[in-house]
């Protein structure tokens, strides 16, 4: 199984890489921080997996496109689009440059990477494309407008891609985690509801992938609350959001 994981130098990507190394996948690991990425690759190799390391910035679209073109000359079984950033939780108006970088990382880079790879998957008539979105995509809070919007764009992209690639036997999955321990959430200075350890979060993601869930929000109780919030009258929503975003 040839598996590409973006954002494999820490957090969910690192733990996913280690999991699939134990399953003897041929891994392609991508991130910017070379030292960290090579350490993850070494740990994966020690578990018996073969690893190709790609040090690259997802926002360098020309580079990402060229990498994907090279990768597309061989069979690709699974692409896990996990690299992502947040710009912290603040009520200030976000600086344009930060929102620009966030959208390039979390959203636009996905197409730069996928454009050359999709024809390979179509030709194979097999493959899996997995988007790591977020529960934050389902309800936009004042403190995470850019992040929520970028992940909602991911959901829309993935939904359309599913319908485009269905007839080619390609599985497109969107996974929407709540709060999980990682470098990203360690920066948060508020109580995170339904918080999961990295291992717990990754086990849910692995379960979603292995059972080919098209749309997999978790934890379920957190998802239920967000669904309920979205269904409430707007005035009630406003009062709840004001209360929880002080
Ligand atoms: N943790 C959560 O609670 C949570 C919840 C919902 C969704 N998610 C999503 O899960 C994914 C993984 O996040 P995480 O929680 O594991 O956080 P993390 O530990 O900060 O991992 C983020 C990964 O993305 C990589 N990355 C960031 N910008 C990049 C860029 N420009 N080019 C290439 N790689 C880049 C980072 O590597 P380098 O810095 O080495 O490049 C790192 O490997 C993200 O998409 C995040 O939005 C996380």
- Domain at 2-244, CATH from 1.10.1760.20, 3.30.300.350, 3.40.50.720, 3.90.105.10: 3.40.50.720
- Give the pLDDT of residue 189: 86
- Read off the tokens for 210: 């292995």
Which residue's C-alpha comes closest to atom 1 of ligand 1? 180
Centre of ligand 1 to C-alpha 87, Å, is: 12
Cβ contacts of 200 within 8 Å, gap of 6 or more:
180
How far apart CA 6 and CA 14 sit, in angstroms, is 9
Q: Could you state, in order of their start, the residue ranges of all structural domains in the chain?
A: 2-244
Q: What is the pLDDT of residues 159-187, one digit of tens each?
A: 999 999 999 999 999 999 999 999 999 99
Query: What is the pTM for the complete model shown?
Result: 0.98
CA of residue 83 to ligand 1 center, whole Å: 4
- pLDDT, one tens digit per residue, over 211-228 is 999 999 999 999 999 999
Q: Which of 68, 184, 216, 223 to probe ligand 1 with, by most ligand atoms within 8 A of CB?
A: 184
The radius of gyration of the chain's CA atoms, rounded to the nearest angstrom, is 18
Give the nearest ligand 1 atom to 135 CA. Answer: 6
Bridge pairing between strands 78-81 and 2-6: parallel
- The pair of structure tokens assigned to 39 is 């350490």
CA of 84 to the centre of ligand 1 (A): 4
3-state SS class at 87 = coil
pLDDT one-digit tens code per residue, 181-190: 999 999 988 8
């Amino acid at each position: 199984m040839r598996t590409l994981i973006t954002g494999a130098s820490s957090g969910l990507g690192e733990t996913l890489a280690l999991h699939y190394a134990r399953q003897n996948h041929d891994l392609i690991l991508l991130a910017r921080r070379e030292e960290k990425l090579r350490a993850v690759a070494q740990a994966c190799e020690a578990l018996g997996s073969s690893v190709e390391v790609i040090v690259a910035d997802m926002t360098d679209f020309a580079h990402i496109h060229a990498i994907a073109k090279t990768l597309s000359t061989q069979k690709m079984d699974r692409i896990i689009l996990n690299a992502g950033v947040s710009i912290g939780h603040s009520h200030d108006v976000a600086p344009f440059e930060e929102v620009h970088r966030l959208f390039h990382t979390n959203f636009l880079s996905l197409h730069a990477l996928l454009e050359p790879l999709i024809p390979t998957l179509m030709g194979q008539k097999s493959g899996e494309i997995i988007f790591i979105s977020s529960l934050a995509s389902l309800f936009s809070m004042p403190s995470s407008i850019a992040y929520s919007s970028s992940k909602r764009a991911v959901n829309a992209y993935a939904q359309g891609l599913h319908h485009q690639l269905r007839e080619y036997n390609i599985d497109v999955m969107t996974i929407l985690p709540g709060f999980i321990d990682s470098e990203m959430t360690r920066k948060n200075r508020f109580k995170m509801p339904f918080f999961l350890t990295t291992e717990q979060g990754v086990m849910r993601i692995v379960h979603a992938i292995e059972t080919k869930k098209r749309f997999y929000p978790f934890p379920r109780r957190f998802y239920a609350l967000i669904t309920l919030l979205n269904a409430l009258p707007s005035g009630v929503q406003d009062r709840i959001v004001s209360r929880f975003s002080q």
